[in-house]
Amino acid sequence: MSRGCRNYRCPESLTDSQWASLAARLWLKVDRSGGPDACWPYIGCSLPKGYGRIKLACEFVTQASRATYMLQTRTIPGRWQLVCHRCDNPSCCNPAHLFLGTDQDNKDDMRAKDRHNRGERGGGAKLTADAVRVIRKAVGPGQTQSEVARQFRISQSTVCQIHRRRSWAHLG
């Protein structure tokens, strides 16, 4: 049996009074003033990355968007199931913006929306897209990979990966 949270005390389901209590506490802290199509931000306590947090009946703290999904469907998602946001707004609790998925579904959604770190957006990037284009043109006609690497202060293997389009492949 899959539990809805990691707390062994968390019930498989909630009683009617527990659902009502959760709904009252949740909707009190959700701003729905933007209308049915807008994001409904959770204005209560939140986690560092912006996800709202609320206690379930089992005293386990969960994300407000997960609690919203639970209220909408009257089910407790499995431990390894995620409640994902179509709107990419971590504080959003609009049920129309939420869907149940796996970690892979969430990663696929991130890539489809081009929100993942690659190229210059990567935290450790030493090169720009323009520099990569220059490296690709420089390798071969007159310059070795080692010479290009010294010029850009990167390793020869990095130049090789760029030249073979194994890194920075998104530049085409």
pTM: 0.67
The domain segmentation of the chain, as residue ranges, is 16-112, 120-171
Calculate mean pLDDT across residues 153-157.
90
Q: What pLDDT, in 10s, does the model give residues 62-98?
A: 899 999 999 999 888 887 899 999 999 999 999 999 9
Comparing C-alpha atoms, which of 97, 70, 72, 68 is closest to residue 84? 97
Calculate mean pLDDT across residues 126-139.
86
Q: Report percent pLDDT > 90 for the chain.
A: 40
For residues 63 and 4, the answer to whether their CB atoms sit within 8 Å is: no
Is residue 43 predicted with pLDDT exceeding 90? yes
> What pLDDT does 39 receive?
97
Is residue 124 predicted with pLDDT exceeding 80? no
